[in-house]
Chains A and B, each alone.
Chain A
Amino acid sequence: MTISIRQAFGETLYNLAKTNRNIYVVDMDLKSSLCLNKFAQKYPRRFIECGVAENNAAAIAAGLAKTGKTVFLTSFACFSPAINWNTIKQSIAYNQANVKIIGSHAGLLSTDLGATHQMLEDVALMSAMPNMEVFSPIDSIETEKLITTISHSKTPAYVRLVRATTPQVFDKKLTFTIGKSHILKKGEDITIVGHGPILNQAFDSSLPKKVSLEIINCSSIKPLDVATIVKSVKKTKHLICLEDHQKNGGLGQMIASILLEKNIHPKFVHLAVDNRFGQSGRDSKKLYDYYKIGVNNLIDAINKIL
């Protein structure tokens, strides 16, 4: 049965908490949205409800972490890390507190609630922060493996989740390693790198059949698997970065900067939201087309780049 990324998060944390008694949740009135009702019912002592107070919650999480807990700080990305960025910087990252910041409902994909709730800047905000890892899983299985892996680590981390039920990419045999990407499909002509479920567009049946695509799932944004990306780009000499995020500060700009510093110059297209706010829309395909990050834009990019 296919479950959503956020359901996978809630289930995984519930299961991990059975054996790891140090797992705590610090929540900001969004336990239902993050599928944490079961956790809250089963482990009320380890479920700390802060109400709609994101700055307080971030520093509460940091203080708790300093008493030996592994704390998951849960909210929507548009609130945490957006409202409480400086509290995360000082109390979590600078103080090296073992807090995992879970920002759900990220990107255009996640919501029909409009621009205030469509977080398109989180990767930029969190990647800029020292002592902070940044992850963006593509499906429920990768979410499960990622959450399990980081629950064993002491490093502060940000995990970007989406609301929608999205296609399964991986099977249960997946191993998730911090700092490693997965080549989902090997190819020769163009490297397509992305993070999150938007990367599924690279498998769309309407894409040109004659072009051989190498598709890399870059769920570990920081640390970044530079070696795999560089190797692929050196081979294909063409790069398309695809993300449900702003261009400015997104994964595409990070990769472009790294490649330039290494004197690698592929033909490059960055498909991301270009300096605009989102808006409501029940059909994510329409939103993606409007913001020029849809399948048609990917087809155009492939045709243009070769």
Chain B
Amino acid sequence: MHYTYLMLSFNKDHPLDQLSSELRLDLLEIIYQSGGGHIGGSLSSIDLMTSVYFSQIFDLKKDHFILSAGHLCTALYVVLAKAGYFSPKLLPSYSSFGSLLQGHVSAQVPGVEYSSGSLGQGLSFACGLALGDRDNKTICLTSDGEHQEGQIWEAVMFAKKYQLGNLINIVDFNGYQIDGAVKDIMPLNDLAAKYISFGWSVTTVDGHDFNQIFKALKKESVLYPHCIIAKTTLGKGISYMENNYNYHDVKNLSPDLYNQALVQLRSKL
């Protein structure tokens, strides 16, 4: 089930860099072929999900991964397909009528434990899992904009009270949301300081550097829930999408823009 990519690639800074580029191509394909999807955040978060599924730090037969930001499902779907949870042939059906691959992440999909889409709930659900299954890890992925939801902070308090040392919340901190920059829409200010003041341990990493991400994911704690603030780039890998909030989601990408993206992503293979 779990793809062993680590042996296959030697010519990059990290063995997963090659896989990361392949997954970005898969992501571009399903969004282009299906007519649209949340590409900006999927490109910013995909290295984080790749780390969870391909680092071999976790045993996902027992450990749990919860995607709280359900619109990032395209990234998760391509990662799960690559990891062998279902056939990659399903990918082009994304968001079409009758497809398993719903427009927001769905637990019908093999390998997915939690259906989400409405922001702010997944971290609470992850806390419930971590409380009920203390012998295993629960990893949650939230977005930065999602931290505007008050429920996130309810869950953050809860995780500390119940000393969920087996809980990791990875924040895909790309700095943008649908209508603009997070700092303009509703600033989070010092997110790390907030988590620390709520009693969590916090690690800030470059969310596209697998060495840093792996190191953070390996951190063990008994009493403290762990927040990994991953500084990422919206639209990472496709130059015209990078840090451009108009690519939070995309509808009917033109053949010209598709080809530009294809050339850029292929050059990194």
Chain B residue with Cβ nearest A66: B129
Within the assembled complex, what's the spacing in Å between the Cα atoms of A69 and B134? 14
Question: Contacting B128 at CB < 8 Å: which of A51, A66, A90, A94?
Answer: A66
B151 interface residue (CB < 8 Å to A): yes
A64-107: which residues lie under 8 A (CB-CB) from chain B?
64-69, 86-87, 89-91, 94-95
* B115–A90 touching, CB < 8 Å: yes
Chain B residue with Cβ nearest A26: B128
Residues of the A chain whose Cβ atoms lie less than 8 Å from the Cβ of B122? 59
Q: How far is the CB of B166 from chain A (nearest CB, A)?
A: 12
Q: How far is the CB of A23 from chain B (nearest CB, A)?
A: 13
Q: Which of B113, B116, B128, B158 counts the most chain A CB atoms within 10 A?
A: B128
Q: How far is the CB of A104 from chain B (nearest CB, A)?
A: 21
* B132–A62 touching, CB < 8 Å: no
**Known contacts A90-B115, A90-B118, A94-B115; is A53 also within 8 Å of B158 by CB?**
yes
Q: How far is the CB of A96 from chain B (nearest CB, A)?
A: 8
Q: How far is the CB of B199 from chain A (nearest CB, A)?
A: 15
**Known contacts A53-B154, A90-B118; is A60 also within 8 Å of B127 by CB?**
yes
Within the assembled complex, what's the spacing in Å between the Cα atoms of A57 and B130? 14
Per-residue interface assignment for chain A, residues 37 to 73, with 1 indicating a CB less than 8 Å from any chain B CB and 0 otherwise:
0000000000010110101111111111111110000
* B131–A64 touching, CB < 8 Å: yes
Question: Contacting B129 at CB < 8 Å: which of A63, A86, A87, A94?
Answer: A63
* B116–A90 touching, CB < 8 Å: yes
* B124–A66 touching, CB < 8 Å: no
Per-residue interface assignment for chain B, residues 151 to 187, with 1 indicating a CB less than 8 Å from any chain A CB and 0 otherwise:
1001101100010000000000000000000000000
Question: Contacting A95 at CB < 8 Å: which of B115, B120, B151, B155?
Answer: B115
Residues of the B chain whose Cβ atoms lie less than 8 Å from the Cβ of A50? 154, 158
Chain A residue with Cβ nearest B134: A67
* B131–A90 touching, CB < 8 Å: no
* A95–B107 touching, CB < 8 Å: yes
B133 interface residue (CB < 8 Å to A): yes
Within the assembled complex, what's the spacing in Å between the Cα atoms of A55 and B117? 15
Residues of the B chain whose Cβ atoms lie less than 8 Å from the Cβ of A56? 124, 127, 151, 154-155, 158
* A62–B128 touching, CB < 8 Å: yes
* A48–B115 touching, CB < 8 Å: no
* B125–A59 touching, CB < 8 Å: yes
Within the assembled complex, what's the spacing in Å between the Cα atoms of A95 and B121? 12
Residues of the B chain whose Cβ atoms lie less than 8 Å from the Cβ of A90? 115-118, 121
Within the assembled complex, what's the spacing in Å between the Cα atoms of A241 and B269? 69
Contact residue range for chain A?
Answer: 20 to 34
* B113–A66 touching, CB < 8 Å: yes
Q: Which of A51, A57, A67 counts the most chain B CB atoms within 10 A?
A: A67
* B118–A60 touching, CB < 8 Å: no
B114 interface residue (CB < 8 Å to A): yes
Question: Contacting B132 at CB < 8 Å: which of A53, A57, A66, A94?
Answer: A66
Residues of the B chain whose Cβ atoms lie less than 8 Å from the Cβ of A63? 124-132
**Known contacts A53-B158, A64-B132, A86-B118; is A91 also within 8 Å of B151 by CB?**
no
Within the assembled complex, what's the spacing in Å between the Cα atoms of A64 and B125? 8
* B158–A65 touching, CB < 8 Å: no
Q: How far is the CB of B138 from chain A (nearest CB, A)?
A: 8
Chain B residue with Cβ nearest A84: B151
Within the assembled complex, what's the spacing in Å between the Cα atoms of A187 and B143? 61
* B124–A87 touching, CB < 8 Å: yes
Q: How far is the CB of B219 from chain A (nearest CB, A)?
A: 22
Residues of the A chain whose Cβ atoms lie less than 8 Å from the Cβ of B128? 59-67
Within the assembled complex, what's the spacing in Å between the Cα atoms of A54 and B181? 29
Q: How far is the CB of B85 from chain A (nearest CB, A)?
A: 18
Within the assembled complex, what's the spacing in Å between the Cα atoms of A58 and B131? 14
Q: Which of A50, A56, A87 counts the most chain B CB atoms within 10 A?
A: A56
Within the assembled complex, what's the spacing in Å between the Cα atoms of A51 and B151? 13
* B124–A69 touching, CB < 8 Å: no
Chain A residue with Cβ nearest B126: A63
Residues of the B chain whose Cβ atoms lie less than 8 Å from the Cβ of A57? 124
Q: Which of B116, B133, B158 counts the most chain A CB atoms within 10 A?
A: B158
Within the assembled complex, what's the spacing in Å between the Cα atoms of A58 and B127? 11
Within the assembled complex, what's the spacing in Å between the Cα atoms of A60 and B121? 9
Per-residue interface assignment for chain A, residues 19 to 34, with 1 indicating a CB less than 8 Å from any chain B CB and 0 otherwise:
0000000000000000
Residues of B within 8 A of A (CB): 107, 113-118, 120-122, 124-133, 150-151, 154-155, 157-158, 162
Which 6 pairs across A and B sit closest by C-beta, in order of nearness?
A: A63-B128, A67-B132, A59-B124, A56-B154, A53-B154, A60-B128
Supplied contacts A51-B157, A63-B130, A91-B124, 7 more A-B pairs, CB within 8 Å = A55-B151, A56-B127, A56-B158, A62-B125, A63-B128, A66-B129, A91-B125
22 pairs, A vs B, C-beta closer than 8 Å:
A48-B162, A55-B120, A55-B121, A56-B154, A59-B124, A60-B125, A60-B155, A63-B125, A63-B126, A63-B128, A63-B132, A64-B131, A64-B132, A65-B128, A66-B113, A67-B128, A67-B133, A87-B121, A87-B124, A90-B121, A91-B125, A95-B107
